Each structure stands twice: as C-alpha cells, then as structure tokens.
Structure 1
Amino acid sequence: MSILRIALPIPKRQLFDYLALDVIPKVGCRVRVSFGPRKLIGVVWEVGEDSTWEVSKLKAIQEVIDDKPIFDATQRKLCSWLAQYYKHPIGDVVQSAMPVALRKGESSLPKAIEYWTVSETGKTVELSSLSRAPKQQALLSALQTEDILKSKAKEQFGAAATKALFDKEFITVIAKQSTNETNWRQNLIVQDKPVANVEQALAISSIEAKLAEFACFLLDGITGSGKTEVYLQAIEPVLKQGKQVLILVPEIGLTPQTVNRFKYRFGIDVGVLHSGLTNNERLQVWQKSAKGQLGIIIGTRSAIFTPMLAPGLLIVDEEHDASYKQQDGLRYHARDLAVVRAHAEKIPLVLGTATPALETLNNALTGKYLYLKLHERAGNASVATQHVFDIRQQPLKFGIAQGMLDRIKLHLEQGSQVMLFINRRGYAPALVCHQCGFVEQCLRCDKPFTLHNQLYKLQCHHCGNAKGIPKSCQQCQSTELTAMGVGTEQLEQGLSQYFPEYSNIRIDSDSARGKSKLDRMLSSINNNEHQILIGTQILSKGHHFPNVTLVLILDVDGALFSADYRAAENLAQLITQLAGRAGRAEKPGEMWLQTHDPGHPLLQDLINNGYAHFAKYALLERQHANLPPFTYQALFKAQALSAQDAHMFLQNVSQLFSHAAGVSCIGPIPALMEKRQGQYRMQLLLQSSQRSSLQRALGHYINQVETLFLANKVRWSLDIDPQDFS
C-alpha cells in the first residue's frame, strides 16, 4: 500500500501521511485531502510504503487535482532547502512557491483570459457623444482598435469608466484561449545593439564563458555605467541557444522600462510577474514559462519561484535592495535563493548593483563570487559631483535653505530638471499644539500621526490608523495647531508657490497608487512635462532621467544616528543611488546633501572617496564588531498585549539556547519600535561565528520553542539572516 507524504498549508514543520486512492499521484502533484473539519489542498512530496502511524488510522486522499507534477525535482529541492534553512513549515513554503490560483485548487492547464470588446451597440456610437466623459470616450476609442485585457482596462481607464460603458451596453466581455503557442526562438531578432566599451566587453565575455555551468558574478558598476547593456548582451547567446532567462527587479516601478527595453532589443514577448497582476494573469505567465513559451521572464521578489523548462541564466538587478527580503511569513531573501537555484540548475547568476550589499561584496572579495567592475559611465555621461550643504543656523523654507533654492533656480533656468528627495510622505510628520505642546499621537503605536493635508486626515504610517484633522487641541482646546517638519506634500506646495512658472510632480506611495499611474508619471518626466521632481525612495530605484542635472537630499541626519547597525550601509547606498540619477546624459550633474552635521565621517567618506571606499571600511568595522557577514544571526520576535508576556516568552527561548554550543544570545530587548498596533514588541538575537552551529541549534530547539508555556499566548516568529530590527 502506497503512503503519500503531503505538504499541507499548516503551521507545522512536517509532512502528513495519507493513503493513495486507486491512482497513485506523481510526486509534485496537488491533491485534495480532509484535515480535521477542513478540506485542504496539498502537494505530494514523497511516496513510500511505510508510515510512523498505524495504516488503519490514516485517511485516504479525496481527489487528485493534477495529471502532471506542477513542481519538478529542482523546485522541490529548492522548497526543501527553504524549509530547512529558514526553519519554516514545508507546507507554507510550498504555498508561497505556487501562484494563488493554484493554491485555490484551480486547474494548472491554460485557461481563457477575459477581455473587453466593443458590442454591436457600441460600434454604432459616435465618440463625440461621450465628450463629457473623457475616460469612457478614450476607452471606447481604444477598444475600436483592439480588445483590451480586463485588468489592463481597469488600470488605464479606471473601474468607473469600464462599468459605465458596460451598463450602457457599449462594451461586453469575451473570453479568449491563450494563443501564445508561437515559438519565440524562431521570432528572435537582435536590433540596435551598441558597441560595448572595454569594461562592458570584459564583463560580457566573462559571463558567456560560464554559460554551461554554475557561477555567481557580482557586476559592480557605478550608476549609469551600462549594467543593463551588459545584461542584454550576455542574454543574447542564452536566447540563441533556446534557453530562458529570469530577471528579478526590486519593485513594480522598474518593470515597465526594463520590459520595454528587452522587448525592443529581442523582438519577443516578455513575461512579467508582480503584485499588480490578477491571479489569472500571474498563472498564465507561470504556465507559459514552465512550458518554455517565454524566453525572458521579469518579475519582483516572488518571481524567483517561476518554473522554467530550459533555464539558462538568472539575473538579480539592484541586488542590494531591501525589498528582496520578505518581512513576514516565509522570511526568505530572493537574492540568496537565486544563488541556491542557479547552483541547482547549473546555470550562471549575475548580481548587478552600483552599491553592493556588504554580504555580497565580502563574497566577491573572498573569491566566492566572480567580481566584475564597471568604473565608467556609458556614452559621454560624467559622474555627478557630490557636495554637503551646512544648514546650521540657516532659515529654511519648506525644509530647503535659501542657497539650495538659488541652486535649483539656476538649473531650472538652464532648461534642466531637478530632483528633490525626502523620505517622508504626507504634509508633515507631526501636528503640535502651539500653546501647550500636545502632539496628536496614535495610541496603538505611541507615535505621532502624520498630517495629510490633501486627504484632510491624520494617519499613522505604522498601523494605518487614521482620523480627521482636529480643529482644536484636545488637551487645552487651543486652535493654534502647527505642522511640524516637512513631508513631500508640503514640499510640493512650497515649490509650486516659489517656482510658479515650472511644473512639479510628486512621486510617493500616496500619489503613485496603481501600476499604470506610476508608468504615466515616469513617462511624463521623460517627456520633460515636469521640471521639478519630488519623491521618496521610489525615485532612487534605477530610473533613467537624462535631463536631471541636480539632486537635492533634504534630510539625512536621522539615518546618521540610528540604532540599527545596517543604517550606515543603507544610507550610503541611498545617497549613491540618488547621486546616480543626475548627469546621466550629455549634461553634467551634481548632488547636494542638506545636513546639520557636515563633518560626519560617513558623509565625508562618501562625498570624497565614493561607495567602494566606504564599503571597504564598513566591512572592517563589521569584522571588528563581530557582525554580519562575519557572523550569522537569527532573530526571534515576539509581540503581545503585555510587554511582560513577550519578554518572558523570549526569556524562556533564551534559556533553551543557552545550552547550544557556539551560539550566543543577546536580549530579550525591546524592538526599535517598541509598540505597534497596540502590541508590545520584543526581540532576542542569536549569533554565531559558524553558520552550521546556528543552524544545528535552531534545528534542535525550534520544536521545543513551539511547546513553551507562552508560545500560544504571544505572536512570535523566527527570522534567519535578519535585515530589519524595527
């Protein structure tokens, strides 16, 4: 009798035994089973003849969902590695690796995709009759040319416009079976390939020499040095061999420009995977990639799980970016998983960045990774000059010193664009009573509410709690309420008044909600419709704005004195990336940092010596302080309504691990943000000079942690190789 060992979406670090029906499903297929009162969908992970349970007590599976495995041997190996390394339930890992549609039990076979099309009534409508509804008019006009995906129509024209046309019976829904069965290998062309410079050519030839084996490259190229061109030319021989390429980018905002560039160069469809797609669209890309119908797949973090029929190359762009680390559930790092996957697939991996993470840089310096460098900007572009501006004892207008306003004016008058960076969305980070000093706070987080003038509300950026702007102080009833500090909204308003003759645009997570909106904003910037660009970190991520010649960073002081040991590295990466937005074409560029501490060693080192010099000495500091990458860490986090419960639970965890050889415990201590959403948050850090010692200890004690007295009373989690201590 065959025993099926099944990975189920249950928070238990084990497989579950079931009996097969008449047909024994293949390993990697989904099955439906009964688990207590629930019906669950799991994946057959192993098939055997023995069980630790009495066979008479085992249930039989209820249904075999797939004829063919949806997880091949390599994918199963990756999932097993993830579960073992991150000490996470195997069933949850398998769920994370599947598209949502497959988790729900939908067929893994290609299904019809829904499109909007013009109805017979709509074909007789005069477009001029919709002149008072421009979005409806634009949508109907577009549909008269071609049918449009439902999700795409919603993004581009809005749900209200599509619903209005549907209610008027001008448009209707049709379902089309996927016809993308064409062989992309036959359609492959290479057009407008520029001649690589010497550094690029060396990098390309180094990658090409390893196409038949595993190798990990760090492509360390200054901003604007043409890393994407290296990717494109390294990909070309892979595609010509009929193999596939998977490219990871850190954020949705980078996918449109990257996708268009790859489509244009090779003339083939590019599969795109990110959170802005519907479940059905994501499943379709997953299916096409698995069948080998896509040559190039570009996606954000979770795209690392995408199956490929003929894998040839993996690329992780902006490998240093924090968004590659999942911060809840399965806390994996997509960059690290890419290394494991490339090794399993026996293909090369390219990690590209202008500001390598210290872990990656250390691997390159010690010879674990092959180190490729690009020191020169592509074409005639020159590296932006960097300066510090001392704002001590200077009056500030909406956060900007007069000297910087004069500098902005100079660049604008020359016909250039300027970019201003402040990592605070909203109008102001606090609302304070001028009479008594009372600050409007979120009681769930003990943090000030952020003032959002345009939405006329106060909002907590930690838990999302919001309320209307009060007319008077709740403590002394004074009506003199003052906005303290500067956010992107206030900056936008102030610059509009100071430079009324120039157009400005604000890009943050408030203004850029929705994938298509960000695309339109970026296009308008490149079309020079706006001269002043205001934004948060969204603007720092690899965008190419050839007309930007000045970048101003308003406030770096907060990051200089953070309790997080990674803060200096993150700030250095941010400053270097932002400096790279200036002077990317013919015009020379410059970057200015406003600060109250112009002599700070970090700033002076970056300005005068660059990121590479900073990183070299940052690694020395880490080594002397016994911090990663020279030690290995695991972070237990606990939160509860009572700080005492969270502390006591972690104290008990600490006592367990005090017996582990080669592992030291730091804590329990409060998290950097001690209270959030009404819960008190504590942390316990485990550290070891040997990764194997830490892994052995975690493997030995993790099941005992689950049985501790307070384990069910607090919310706790384990984060291997933590990046965020907030």
Structure 2
Amino acid sequence: MTTPAYSGLGPALTYVHERPLEPGTLVRVPLGQREVLGLVWEAPGLSLEGLEPGQARAVLQVFDAIPPLDAAWRGLASFAARYYQRSLGEVALAALPPQLRDLQAEQLARKLKRLAKAAGSSTKGGHQPDAANSNAGAPAAESAADNSAPPELSPEQAVALQRFQADDRPALLFGTTGSGKTEVYLRAVQELLEQDPQAQALVMVPEINLTPQLEARFRERFARWGVVALHSGLTPAQRLDHWLLAHQGRARILLGTRMAIFASLPQLRLIVVDEEHDPSYKSQEGARYSARDLAIYRAKRESEGRSPGHCRVLLGSATPSLESWRAAEIGRYLKLEMPQRIGGGALPRLRLVNMNHQPKQCVLAPALLESIAERAARGEQSMILLNRRGYAPVLACHACGWKSDCPHCSAHAVFHKIDRTLRCHHCGHSARVPYACPDCGNLDIAPVGRGTEQLEEQIAGLLADARRADGGPIRVLRLDADSTRAKGSLEQQLAGMHEGEFDVLVGTQMIAKGHDFRRITLVASVNADGGLFASDYRAPERLFALLLQAAGRAGRDASFVASQGTAVELWVQTWYPEHPLFAALAQHDYPAFAAQQLQEREEALMPPYSFQALVRAEARTQEAAQALLNLAAQAGEALPGREHLTLYPAVPMAIQRVANIERAQMLIESDSRPALQAFLAAWQEQLQLARSRPEAKGVLRWAIDVDPQAI
C-alpha cells in the first residue's frame, strides 16, 4: 500500500490477504488506530519469509465491486511522483475522489447499484440520468439521435482535422481566436467514438468557469454518449459519481480542469488540452504537476505495447506556450494552423492610448469613453479588462503614511467597498474598514489604486448620461471571483451578457478567454503595464497572451459586425506605447512575438533552453527558511548531476510572509533535464538532514517545484 512522504513510513507498507490481490485494487487497511484507503501496488521481489506471525497486518476490505486501476494509470502516477519529486502515495491517493476514502466496501457497492439503476432507467426513458444531481451520467440509448447536426467545417478546419488524424505525433492546433478550434475538438472526439464503440476521450480546460459552457456544447452534440465533468466546483458526491462512471467506461467523454488528467479512463484514446498555454494547468500546491505536460506523457504511456498513436494528444491555443511552440517548430509536435476567423470576421484593430497625454487622474481616456457610449447606443457591447479585484489594492492615510497592511502577511489588505471590509487575498484575513486612521486618527483615509469594483462604479458614473439602443441607461456588469461566488451566479450573469441585458462587461482575466460573446465589438485593457517590466521572465509572454485572448472576445460574429458597420477594436491604455510587445500585438503576430522571446530566452539560457526547479521553504523565521536551503545546497556538492547545475543563494519569496509563516526559495538551473532530476532525487535526503540542524530550527515544511511557472 502506498503512503505519503510526510508520514515518515516509507514509500509503501506491507499487508497480507488470504488471496493474491491484483495491482491497482483498492482496499481498506488498518493504520495505527484508524482505517484508511489503500492502493495495492506492484512489489517486485517482495517476500514475506522471515516475518513473524502477526507482524504484517491484514487487509480489512477489498473493493471488488470496481475494476483495479490499470497499468497505464499506475504508470502515470509513478512517473508524476518521480518527476515532480513527491511520494507515490501523495500522487496516487490524492488523484482519487475524496469521498472514496471514507466509504466502506459495501457502501461503494450500493452506490454502484444506484448508478447502474439510473443508467438503466435513462436507457428506457431516452435521457441521461441525473448523477448526484449533476446533470451527468451514463450513456443513454445508443440509438438516440444527437440533438444537433454539426456545422460544416471550414477548409482550414477540415485540413487541420485531416492532418491530425494522419500523424501520430502530439499536435499543436495554433488557431486565432474565433477560428473554430472547439469545433475541431468536437469532430475529433466524434470521429473517435464512432470508430471505436469503447473509446474514451478526455477534454481539459484551464478554469472551472469555462467548463459549463464547453459541457453544454458537448451535451448538445453528443446526447447518445455519456458526458461527465470533473473539477473542484462539484460536490464530493458528484465527483465520486463522475469518477466511477469514467472508471467503468460508462462515460465516454470526460471534461475537466487539471485534476482530470489523473482520472481513471481505461479506454482512453484522445486527450484534448484547450488553451494549453494557461498557467492554471500547473498545480501550485501538493504535487506541483503540469497537467499539460502529463497529457503528453499519458498519451505515450497509453500507447505502449499498442499501435502507434493509440492515444493521441491535441493541444490548442491562439497563444501557445513557448515550450509547445518550440516543440512544434523543431518537429517534435505536429503544428496545425488556422489563421482565419470563422465567417471571415476581422481581428480587432489595436488602438494604443498614450496615458502621458491624457487628463490627470482619468479613469478611461475620453476617446475610449466616447467609443463605448456610441457602441452601446447601437446595441453593441464593450469589455473592459482589469486584472485586479476589489475596490482598491490598499487604503492609506496621507497624513502619517499608514497603509492597510495584513497583520499576518507581508501584503496589503484589499479594500472591498461593497461590504466595507479589508481582505487579504493571500491568507483570507478580513476586518472592517476603520472610520479613522488607526495610527494618527485622521478621518481622511483614502483608497489608492483601482480594482474591478471601483472601475465598475466609475464607468457607471461616467456613462450616466449615455443611453443604450432601447433608450434606457447603460448597464454595467462586473465579473470576478467576488461577484461570481454564489452558486449559479456565473452562469446567470453570462446568460445576461449573451442576451444583451448588459452593455459593458468589466472583469478580471476570467472574462478574457473561452467566452463566445456575439455582440462585443470593443475590448479595452486599462492597466497592462505591470506585465512589461515584471521580475518574472514569463511576464511578457503572459501579458501578450492575455491581451490577445481578450481581443479575441471582440468581433466573433462576423454577420453582426457587418450589419453594424462597426470597426472592431482593442484599446490598450499604457504609459509605454513604444514597447516592442505592442508592435507584435498590433499585427496579431504571435509567431513574431514568440521568435523574439525565444531568441532572448536562448541568449539567456532560460527555459525552454534550460531546465529549472524551485525549492521553497516555510519556517517561523526568514533566517531559518533560508538556512535550510543554503545548508542543503552546501551538502549537495557531491551529489549526482551537480556539475551540470547552478544553485542560486536562497532569497525571500516575493510575498515573504503569509499567514505568519516566513517563506524563502532557491532557484536551481541546469542544461540537462536528466542531471537535474538525478540531483533532486538524491538531494531530498540532504534537505531532510538540514532540517535537523540548529540553524534551521523552526522550519515547518519544504517543497520542490519542478518546471516552475512563476519565480
């Protein structure tokens, strides 16, 4: 049975059972005074000879009601644990539905009977069962007709699909926003499932808010196949039901976020990774895995011992990650290109607003404000992007210099005007807004900076005298993590936007990707400069992707734009209009931007031309956190692969203190991935030993992040 690293029990524990158990079988076993879920694993050469009677405890229950997790799934878990420097138990058990860990074998058997009964009734009634109130379940009657006929493919879509089917390599679908990438995904899934009556497909999206939209499209198209979702927005019961349906092969299509890469799909033949560039595919806690990279490995693992290309991977993006772009450039991936929008719609024209020439303290440039009002009067919509939620990043007293700092973090508490609170977005601390400065008593404390709450309020005020097409006042909608917290609120607000109830959409990056708004003809970014000069070398790549993805929300309905006679535009307010990033953005020229960035990366020997790992330590004091990392670095001088590595000194993290815990990090670079992996595997012991040194007293935990996405 596998165990997590922090348990201190070693990589696996030995139990006995009256009969041999197949690897991958789920069991319940005693651990101390508790009963826990375990997973039977291969144990080559294991012998029970020499064990005293009773020394190895007995397995309590065997989950015979479901098939064992297959060799391909176990291979994926083993690789992820090995590559991302975590224990096998942490990866394998964390990949299972949480509710499964609490069930007895007989409880699981009853749940499976209920699912089977629901599937049977759906077959008789001609509709899918409502698995755990989730509107997802087993397939309905195979003879049921699909709800809608697929649209005719454009020539570019047809060529991309044909080339994908004819080549075994992982494919990168580089298609401009609005070029119809989703339809290519749908057709690839459809052709697979029609050819193989057992095949399963996994379709991944970066964020939960995109899952319901994609799920609706798949359900509309594939009424006769089981479609289930897997993401953190589901209840524990829903996650378990969906996992079981996929594991049993009853669900042929699984949609999900990054956690779905570990779903058990015994007949997996296709993996689609939409918006493959998105940082959300990289986990930032536990095993810090990249779901995109694991998709490539999983497809290769599923194809071992079978025909080439038995399981295929299709990565899609209008702004691919530089790692994937280079892999396609050198031929390791198949590059599929779709540069034209469906229906011949034009891409937005860039209009840079030089803020050096605008009135002081202006929120939106007068010309931009006028354009938004004109479009609303014609029945068009506008979208304003500000990637900062709350009303203001900080409250400040200009008399004494007091700022609304979080008492537990080295960060400011954000001012939320709606409920008059100061909230830390790092530790969750919340406090009421003081009536006066806590330090000097000054009543004139004021917000500094701007968040989406304030922008919504200011735009509504600036457009108070403008009118929409029906003569009513202009309506502004805000979409961010705060406004969509209530269950169902995101879907409801998006529906209002699609139906034309709102004229201006204000939001964070959650509005910039994946949404198919038909009436938006103007997109504006009001604070893009932060990504131009950030310390993280990936910041320009992320900014370019965000702006291009946001621009793609405009002009998606070519017939609507033509009937309006409107110019589709992307406005960017900036203090640095001469920055070279904007030259590539004006041409929607991702290849040119990627070439420039890759040249800089190659000259600096940065990824993808080198390989990195970050080691992070958390402790009661900053000195202890840094001491752990520096002591371990000194002890690792003779370890395998060290000659190919550069270990930088430990430094505080950008947000140094979170929830009263000090944080430090050390960057490791190498020109050899095998050398980096060999060093990290051997270095774990040195980190553990360094923790016992007096200088590192107070260290709470440490973690290795392989291929970090943020430094």
Equivalence for 2:22: 26
Query: Offset at 1:49?
Result: 5.8
Query: Offset at 1:448?
Result: 2.0
Asked whether 1:502 is paired with 2:459, we answer no
Query: Offset at 1:104?
Result: 2.4
For residues 44 and 389 of structure 1, the distance between their equivalents in structure 2, rounded to whole angstroms, comes to: 61
Asked whether 1:596 is paired with 2:575, we answer yes
Deviations 1:193-220 (A, max 9, x none): 222222211111012224xxx5300001
Equivalence for 1:614: 593
Query: Offset at 1:675?
Result: 2.2
Deviations 1:677-721 (A, max 9, x none): 222221111111110111111122212322222577312111011
The partner residue of 1:63 within 46, 57, 60 is 60
The partner residue of 1:441 within 387, 405, 421 is 405
Query: Offset at 1:607?
Result: 2.2
Q: Is the 8 A contact 2:137 2:228 kept in 1?
A: no
The partner residue of 2:649 within 667, 673, 679 is 667
Aligned CA distance change for structure 1 residues 22 and 723 (closer, same or farther; 3 Å): same
Equivalence for 1:256: 212
For residues 106 and 365 of structure 1, the distance between their equivalents in structure 2, rounded to whole angstroms, comes to: 51
Higher strand content, 1 or 2? 1
Query: Offset at 1:641?
Result: 2.0
For residues 618 and 210 of structure 2, the distance between their equivalents in structure 1, rounded to whole angstroms, comes to: 35
For residues 427 and 50 of structure 1, the distance between their equivalents in structure 2, rounded to whole angstroms, comes to: 61
In structure 2, what residue type is equivalent to 1:612? P
For residues 316 and 697 of structure 2, the distance between their equivalents in structure 1, rounded to whole angstroms, comes to: 43
The TM-score normalised by the length of structure 2 is 0.89
Asked whether 1:401 is paired with 2:373, we answer no
Query: Offset at 1:91?
Result: 0.6
Partner of 2:521: helix, strand, or coil? strand
Aligned CA distance change for structure 1 residues 238 and 400 (closer, same or farther; 3 Å): same
Equivalence for 1:490: 454
Asked whether 1:284 is paired with 2:238, we answer no
Equivalence for 2:91: 93
Equivalent residue pairs, number: 661
In structure 2, what residue type is equivalent to 1:521? Q
1:539-554 equivalences under 5 Å are 539-554=511-526
Equivalence for 2:539: 567
Partner of 2:40: helix, strand, or coil? strand
Equivalence for 2:667: 685
Equivalence for 1:167: none
Q: Percent sequence identity over matched residues?
A: 36
1:706-721 equivalences under 5 Å are 706-708=688-690, 709-710=692-693, 713-714=698-699, 715-721=701-707
Asked whether 1:78 is paired with 2:76, we answer yes
For residues 619 and 410 of structure 1, the distance between their equivalents in structure 2, rounded to whole angstroms, comes to: 41
Asked whether 1:223 is paired with 2:180, we answer no
Aligned CA distance change for structure 1 residues 450 and 286 (closer, same or farther; 3 Å): same
Deviations 1:309-356 (A, max 9, x none): 322211000001111111010111100111111111221100000000
For residues 474 and 340 of structure 1, the distance between their equivalents in structure 2, rounded to whole angstroms, comes to: 55
For residues 588 and 499 of structure 2, the distance between their equivalents in structure 1, rounded to whole angstroms, comes to: 34
Aligned CA distance change for structure 1 residues 565 and 592 (closer, same or farther; 3 Å): same
Aligned CA distance change for structure 1 residues 713 and 719 (closer, same or farther; 3 Å): same
In structure 1, what residue type is equivalent to 2:231? H
1:214-613 equivalences under 5 Å are 214-241=168-195, 242=197, 243-268=199-224, 269-346=226-303, 347-395=311-359, 399-500=363-464, 501-586=473-558, 587=561, 588-608=567-587, 610-613=589-592
Asked whether 1:8 is paired with 2:6, we answer no
For residues 17 and 548 of structure 1, the distance between their equivalents in structure 2, rounded to whole angstroms, comes to: 58
Aligned CA distance change for structure 1 residues 54 and 35 (closer, same or farther; 3 Å): farther
Aligned CA distance change for structure 1 residues 596 and 8 (closer, same or farther; 3 Å): same
My pick for the range that moved more, 286-295 or 360-369, is 286-295
Query: Offset at 1:422?
Result: 0.5
Aligned CA distance change for structure 1 residues 663 and 32 (closer, same or farther; 3 Å): same
Q: Is the 8 A contact 1:492 1:504 kept in 2?
A: yes
Q: Is the 8 A contact 2:269 2:312 kept in 1?
A: yes
Q: Is the 8 A contact 1:13 1:89 kept in 2?
A: no
Structure 1 gaps of 5+ residues are: 1-5, 115-145, 154-177
Partner of 2:649: helix, strand, or coil? strand
In structure 2, what residue type is equivalent to 1:707? L
Partner of 2:383: helix, strand, or coil? strand
For residues 53 and 365 of structure 1, the distance between their equivalents in structure 2, rounded to whole angstroms, comes to: 56
1:36-47 equivalences under 5 Å are 36-47=32-43
For residues 712 and 10 of structure 1, the distance between their equivalents in structure 2, rounded to whole angstroms, comes to: 20
Partner of 1:667: helix, strand, or coil? coil
My pick for the range that moved more, 696-705 or 576-585, is 696-705
Q: Is the 8 A contact 2:70 2:266 kept in 1?
A: no
Partner of 1:187: helix, strand, or coil? coil
Aligned CA distance change for structure 1 residues 148 and 179 (closer, same or farther; 3 Å): closer
Deviations 1:413-436 (A, max 9, x none): 222000001011111111111323
For residues 278 and 191 of structure 1, the distance between their equivalents in structure 2, rounded to whole angstroms, comes to: 30
For residues 62 and 43 of structure 1, the distance between their equivalents in structure 2, rounded to whole angstroms, comes to: 11
Asked whether 1:35 is paired with 2:14, we answer no
For residues 492 and 513 of structure 1, the distance between their equivalents in structure 2, rounded to whole angstroms, comes to: 17
Aligned CA distance change for structure 1 residues 58 and 47 (closer, same or farther; 3 Å): farther
In structure 1, what residue type is equivalent to 2:649? G
For residues 247 and 84 of structure 1, the distance between their equivalents in structure 2, rounded to whole angstroms, comes to: 25
In structure 1, what residue type is equivalent to 2:677? Q
For residues 390 and 113 of structure 1, the distance between their equivalents in structure 2, rounded to whole angstroms, comes to: 63
In structure 1, what residue type is equivalent to 2:572? L
In structure 1, what residue type is equivalent to 2:409? C
In structure 2, what residue type is equivalent to 1:46? E
For residues 361 and 555 of structure 2, the distance between their equivalents in structure 1, rounded to whole angstroms, comes to: 26
Partner of 1:558: helix, strand, or coil? helix
Partner of 1:233: helix, strand, or coil? helix
Aligned CA distance change for structure 1 residues 515 and 376 (closer, same or farther; 3 Å): farther
Aligned CA distance change for structure 1 residues 8 and 668 (closer, same or farther; 3 Å): same
For residues 646 and 145 of structure 2, the distance between their equivalents in structure 1, rounded to whole angstroms, comes to: 55
For residues 61 and 199 of structure 1, the distance between their equivalents in structure 2, rounded to whole angstroms, comes to: 60
In structure 1, what residue type is equivalent to 2:608? P
In structure 1, what residue type is equivalent to 2:698? K
In structure 2, what residue type is equivalent to 1:314? I
Aligned CA distance change for structure 1 residues 482 and 190 (closer, same or farther; 3 Å): closer
Query: Offset at 1:486?
Result: 1.1
Aligned CA distance change for structure 1 residues 52 and 567 (closer, same or farther; 3 Å): farther
Query: Offset at 1:53?
Result: 9.4
Partner of 1:355: helix, strand, or coil? coil
Aligned CA distance change for structure 1 residues 369 and 520 (closer, same or farther; 3 Å): same
Partner of 2:271: helix, strand, or coil? strand
Deviations 1:217-254 (A, max 9, x none): 00010100110111112222101022221100111111
Partner of 1:215: helix, strand, or coil? coil
The TM-score normalised by the length of structure 1 is 0.87
Partner of 1:448: helix, strand, or coil? coil
